[in-house]
Structure 1
Amino acid sequence: MAILASQARPYRDFLTPVLHSRFTKASLYTFALCYFIAIWMGKMEDLFWSWFPIGPAGMRASLIFICSLMIYVLRVAQWHVGQRSTESPSETFKKYTLRKATFYTIGIYALSAFLYGETYIHSRTPAARLSYTEAGKAYERIKLNERPVYLRCLFLSLAVAQGIVHIWKDYDKIQIPLMRPNKERKDEAQIATVLPSAKKPLQLLRQELMPMAKTAGTFASATLFIGSVVYFLALRKVIWSWHYRFARNIHALAKTSKPSGLSPFLNLIFMFAVQGTLLALLWQFTNTAFDAYITQEPLKKGKPITSDSKDPNGSLLNGLKSKKPEVKAIAFWELALITDSFNDRRKTIYGELDRKKAPTFKQVTDICLAEINEISNRINAALDPMFRSEDADGKKELTTPISLVPQISQPIKNGQIAGPGFAPETRMQKIESVTSQIARAHSSPQNAQNAQARKYLKQGQKKFEERAQEAEGLWVKYTNQFAASPFGWPFRTCIRHTANVVVNGAPYSRQSSIVNAITTLTNLTVASLKEDEYGQFNTEVPQMVRVFTTAIKKIEEYMESLQVHWTDVDCLKKPEAERKDIPEVNVVLDTLKEGLERILGAFNEYLSPMGMSRVEIQEAKKLIAKPSVPEIEERRRR
């Protein structure tokens, strides 16, 4: 009976519970930090009630935990796999600054800081002088207290600064580990010693706690200084007037009033220095805990997360076909783990031949090859803007519209016909073209015979060209200086970013999916010699070799043609041999070569009977051949 794709449960039915379980573990450790902050925030007069959970300490811990829970919700809503792919900082700023997610991020941090600040202010004793109003003398009206206003502004300033850092450093990024092809595969008994255990995230949090505390202290101190300057120079009068108008509706205040002052000021500074550091530490701990637990392997009790499904491979295929890049990336990761370390599960990929649409190994192969083919399509589009990739039916889109009306030519002219010549391209050619046109316009058969006039024309043209060259030299000099300055940094086009956009994709890098797809195909191909009982998988090997070969050639061709932009001053400072050494591209290229080498090593003698020509086989072998020392030296000289 055929295995129907509709019978397989969706991949999210297995991924979501695992993520929820990890989220719960991360939340428990975060709540422990919140409980410590709550104890520190409370009154130390009564030793029992200062820490007893069922009491003020527990209430404060719950409110502080809500502050961290907001950040968890933010991370769950906005996490993505892979780094952002843009060519310059200005493009990143233009693309990500004014989107809704940016304002949402800053708003969530502001709400978290507000709740934390209110929890702290209402936990203080009257001696801290943080109440909403001050009674003053018996004959005076009630006065508004500026001290809590200033403290709230500092907390909100800390939130805005943290939100900007969150967006700038892309805290929403999740880096999935890359599974490289291994020469010796591991079995299920060995995998427990290789893969991270459940204790490792906790160990990571313990190791990073002190560095996070130091960073939080520095961050709070910088916010205290900058926030105070902005408050006193720009915001104090505006905030006080709004606050006073609102308070007049609640309390019997005078019609007008000036800020009441912040004395004692040092005590207030100390309050924010401590609590601002703790709040920044809570945010950093929350982000670190989320990253530590979300990047654990897609395993449950040492088995792939889809093992509980009635149709494990069908559920995994649903994940590989998902439209969400994050779900698809994790499914590729699980597939690479299965082909690398779970022998029994890997054998089922070869054996399911009666699945609807196509056998399991055929669908897996097509999905992985499509991921690799996208590299060639992106490179073709970068080298040729008119390139159009093939659609699902194998038809190419038309690059230009076809005109059905024939174009009628003009009648042939009699007499001499002047050729169009070459259009000026460079700046100096355009200057020469303009000066020559001026000379021709003021020439005639009568004055052409005047040698003195021709002499003056040549002298004027020469001086004009010299001045143009001087102006062009100054322009190049000043533009290079601007690009090298901090003001020109946002406009630098980095060769590393450009290559990463083309090879690994955009708006987020797909490097993990690409490398895991290559590893999957390599492992399946090598293992098929012993585990493919029906001998059907070998029909896919020639296509794999061709796709791998094309991708390697395209990457090398693109990197050879890629030129360093004149604004990339950091790259221009390097030796010429190191300028095109792009780590992200090298990882993909090396993985392709490793995979192709292992496939050729396993199926070398069978490729010709499978339909591959001798030229194709020799071309593939040439790509994986390691260059000799003279060849390496020659490449460096170039």
Structure 2
Amino acid sequence: MAPVPPARPYRDFLTPALHKRFTDASLYTLLLCYTISMWMDDWNHYLWAWFPIGPAGIRALLIFIPALVVFILRVAQWHVGQRNTDRPLDTFRKYAIRKNTVLTLTGYAISAWFYSEIYIWTRAGKSRLSLTDRGGRQHDWIRLNERPLYLRFMFFILAMVQGVCHLWFDYDTIDLPAMKPRNDKSTDAERPSKRPSRVLMQKLKPMGLMAVFLVLFTFVAGNILYFLGFRNILWEYYYSFAAMMVSLRRSSTPFGLPPFAPLVGMFVTQGALLVFLWQLVNTAFGIYIAQAPLKKGRPITSDSKDPNGSLLSGLKAKKETVKAIALWELALITDRFPERRRTIYSELDRKTASTSKQITDICLAEVRLLITRISIALDPQFRPADENGQKQEVGPLTLVPKIARPIQNTPVTLDGPGPARTRSEEAGQLVSGIAKDLSSPTNNNLRKSPYVRNGLEKTQLAIKENTQKAEASFEATGIWPALINSWAGRPFRQSLRRSASLIVTGAPYSHLSPLCNAITAITNLAVLSLKEDDWGRFSKQVPDIIRSFTLALQKLEEYVDSLTVHWTDLEMLSKPEEERKKIAEVEQVRECLREGLRGILGVFAEYLRSIDLGIVEIQEAKKVVARGPEMAHVR
């Protein structure tokens, strides 16, 4: 028997699919670039103002270069799932100073600079944007024109504003769907979905409003920076550069920007178009990249000679984005494609293990990672067991940054009273210390004095009264509570939603989609194995699935019960008490696990005792499921 050739890597199928989506998104961008190109023209020649094979087409291709710079940024930096940090301040500390941040700001600056140069070259004569200006009379000295300098500076500030928005709202995030397990009413028919072009058209209005807002904000902020800070500094470098090319009239100060109103109109109009172009690039890229891993209605690995082998290479990929898309494809296969799903059960002769066993191990690894994260959150000393059941000897695992040195085992001696927790206790300790000093044998004569005793009593009462008043005043009008309640205190607030999402969905980016898709995939395989697994091998993996789901739900319930709302979490404190622990991401994971466990218990209800599950394990699984909606079909 000839050896089976190795399966083609998953990237051989994913990369062409991503290229196709990139091309589709670029077509809409190129259409907008052509529209902007016609807008820039003065329309003195009606044919050449719009004819694609001519100045309009060349200018459109040049305008596409700024859009291509942003496309390159998105291709290099996109990731699956939102950023997960404990506080906004932690997000700033982690992402503000890094290579990608500098590249993002630099990319937008290059994009804005190239766009402004295209506009200045196009409108140099008509809008007085040439490098030099002769003034009102022909015999005047040639002087340096400040208008293009101002316009370039404003476009640069616009790039910085757009770059900050890109980083603040994390445009690099690609939100992949988190599928749910099949239920009794599910069918294998493909569910209808909106076309990407239709979704993009629905976002045109928000993109336009965003463009207008950013341009108006930049106009105000940019003028303040230009006229109050950078005008004279930029002028010196601008003059030195221009003097190397033309003979200029000597002047240490700018000549001015008249007429200013048309110049403002140029920036507002072209700035809005440029921001709209950036928004279209980011939106179109996000929409098309987040499309299902399908080709002509079939999974992208269907063209492989070994489809499941290629899919397994994607599930084992080290790159998180590739693995997330592969898990999504697996979930789609188990949900919508019965013929391909049956091949997962039938492939038993792979080198490592059968296809179904490898897929189950990979998916259960996501569930066990969830259990490990929650276990560490509940007990920082927890260590996961290795394959042999031994505790792993690893360094200390922390879910929050260290703020102090580790406690040492050396004995500690205290020479005086311990630190007071309140001002009243501290004052009492101070007075007690004075009293002890007065009562020492060396101060016999002093402690007998009635004046000293009377003064000591009055001092003690006064200190207590003053400290109580100070504490009450601080609690009512403390600086820290006032700061937390203001907009400036948002970065310092503790957020229950962020902390819970960090633990449950992982870090640095949320694993919500891979986790739920992994749960969905093995649930669907388990539920449908009784009908489609002709060899009956998949049932051997059902006990591990039930145990893992049960333990994950138990840990999740325990973790949610242990949550407390911090006094700085104004978002949760504003909600009713029964709603404070309901975090969307946590509830989605819990519902996915519960639906999966309910479906498996329902299908294997008659076989639970015969598949190596104990009575206690069965009761625990049913108990965990029963905390949700009623499970009438499980007896």
| TM-score, normalising length: structure 2 | 0.90
Matching residue of 1:361? 356
CA contact (8 A) 2:215 2:271 kept: yes
CA contact (8 A) 2:439 2:447 kept: no
1:302 corresponds to 2:330: no
Matching residue of 1:406? none
Matching residue of 1:347? 342
Distance 1:432 1:376 in 2: 48
Distance 1:385 1:134 in 2: 71
Distance 2:604 2:109 in 1: 60
Matching residue of 1:159? 159
Write the mapping of 1:22-421 to structure 2, written as runs, cut at 5 A.
22-124=21-123, 126-136=125-135, 137-184=137-184, 190-191=189-190, 194-196=191-193, 200-391=195-386, 394-398=389-393
Distance 2:39 2:242 in 1: 31
Task: Give the counterpart letter for 1:519 in structure 2.
Answer: T
Write the mapping of 1:458-607 to structure 2, written as runs, cut at 5 A.
460-461=459-460, 463-477=462-476, 478=478, 479-607=480-608
Q: 1:458 to 1:360 in 2, by over 3 A?
A: farther
1:192-212 deviation digits (Å, cap 9, x = unpaired): xx1436xx1111222222332
By how many angstroms is 1:328 displaced? 0.8
CA-based RMSD of the aligned residues comes to 2.8
By how many angstroms is 1:424 displaced? 6.9
By how many angstroms is 1:579 displaced? 1.4
Distance 2:445 2:356 in 1: 85
Distance 1:291 1:419 in 2: 60
Distance 1:436 1:399 in 2: 48
CA contact (8 A) 2:594 2:628 kept: no
CA contact (8 A) 2:346 2:533 kept: yes
Distance 1:295 1:301 in 2: 16
CA contact (8 A) 1:2 1:355 kept: no
CA contact (8 A) 1:109 1:160 kept: yes
User: Which SS does the other structure have where 1:176 is aligned?
Assistant: coil
Distance 1:358 1:529 in 2: 21
Distance 1:521 1:237 in 2: 67
User: Which SS does the other structure have where 2:122 is aligned?
Assistant: coil
Q: 1:430 to 1:139 in 2, by over 3 A?
A: same
Structure 2: stretches of 5+ with no match in the other structure: 397-409, 631-635
Q: 1:466 to 1:543 in 2, by over 3 A?
A: farther
1:246-302 deviation digits (Å, cap 9, x = unpaired): 111111124443201110000101111111111111111111111111111000011
Task: Give the counterpart letter for 2:91 in structure 1.
Answer: T
By how many angstroms is 1:118 displaced? 0.8
By how many angstroms is 1:624 displaced? 1.3
User: Which SS does the other structure have where 1:367 is aligned?
Assistant: helix
Distance 2:84 2:618 in 1: 35
Matching residue of 1:415? none
By how many angstroms is 1:389 displaced? 2.2
Q: 1:556 to 1:439 in 2, by over 3 A?
A: farther
By how many angstroms is 1:169 displaced? 0.3
Q: 1:459 to 1:340 in 2, by over 3 A?
A: farther
Task: Give the counterpart letter for 1:196 in structure 2.
Answer: S
1:419-459 deviation digits (Å, cap 9, x = unpaired): 99997784466665565455444435879997978887666
Distance 1:319 1:279 in 2: 38
User: Which SS does the other structure have where 2:585 is aligned?
Assistant: helix
Q: 1:133 to 1:369 in 2, by over 3 A?
A: same
1:396-419 deviation digits (Å, cap 9, x = unpaired): 233799xxxxxxx99xxxxxxx99
Task: Give the counterpart letter for 2:258 in structure 1.
Answer: S
Distance 1:196 1:603 in 2: 33
By how many angstroms is 1:377 displaced? 0.9
Q: 1:26 to 1:420 in 2, by over 3 A?
A: same
By how many angstroms is 1:390 displaced? 2.9
Q: 1:399 to 1:40 in 2, by over 3 A?
A: closer
Q: What fraction of aligned residue pairs are identical, expressed as a percent?
A: 50
364-373 or 246-255, which moves further after superposition?
Answer: 246-255
473-482 or 489-498, which moves further after superposition?
Answer: 473-482
User: Which SS does the other structure have where 1:594 is aligned?
Assistant: helix
By how many angstroms is 1:47 displaced? 1.1
Distance 1:291 1:442 in 2: 76
Task: Give the counterpart letter for 1:338 in structure 2.
Answer: I
CA contact (8 A) 1:141 1:252 kept: no
Distance 2:445 2:340 in 1: 93
Task: Give the counterpart letter for 1:17 in structure 2.
Answer: P
Distance 2:338 2:354 in 1: 19
CA contact (8 A) 1:386 1:399 kept: no
CA contact (8 A) 2:417 2:429 kept: no
Task: Give the counterpart letter for 1:343 in structure 2.
Answer: P
Distance 2:110 2:65 in 1: 10
Distance 1:399 1:9 in 2: 36
Task: Give the counterpart letter for 1:583 in structure 2.
Answer: A
Distance 1:18 1:75 in 2: 16
Task: Give the counterpart letter for 1:39 in structure 2.
Answer: M
Task: Give the counterpart letter for 2:548 in structure 1.
Answer: V
Matching residue of 2:633? none
User: Which SS does the other structure have where 2:179 is aligned?
Assistant: coil
418-427 or 66-75, which moves further after superposition?
Answer: 418-427
By how many angstroms is 1:565 displaced? 1.6
Q: 1:400 to 1:430 in 2, by over 3 A?
A: farther
Task: Give the counterpart letter for 1:584 in structure 2.
Answer: E
Q: 1:277 to 1:628 in 2, by over 3 A?
A: closer
By how many angstroms is 1:388 displaced? 2.2
Distance 1:379 1:454 in 2: 59
| TM-score, normalising length: structure 1 | 0.90
Distance 1:465 1:551 in 2: 52
Task: Give the counterpart letter for 1:149 in structure 2.
Answer: L
Matching residue of 1:632? none
Q: 1:442 to 1:451 in 2, by over 3 A?
A: closer
Distance 2:626 2:216 in 1: 56
CA contact (8 A) 1:368 1:521 kept: yes
Distance 1:380 1:448 in 2: 61
1:471-512 deviation digits (Å, cap 9, x = unpaired): 334444412221101121111111100101011101100000
User: Which SS does the other structure have where 1:567 is aligned?
Assistant: coil
Distance 1:589 1:425 in 2: 43
Q: 1:441 to 1:316 in 2, by over 3 A?
A: farther
By how many angstroms is 1:617 displaced? 1.1
Q: 1:367 to 1:438 in 2, by over 3 A?
A: farther
User: Which SS does the other structure have where 1:563 is aligned?
Assistant: coil
Q: 1:160 to 1:393 in 2, by over 3 A?
A: farther
1:443 corresponds to 2:428: no
By how many angstroms is 1:132 displaced? 0.7
Q: 1:15 to 1:399 in 2, by over 3 A?
A: closer
CA contact (8 A) 2:200 2:284 kept: yes
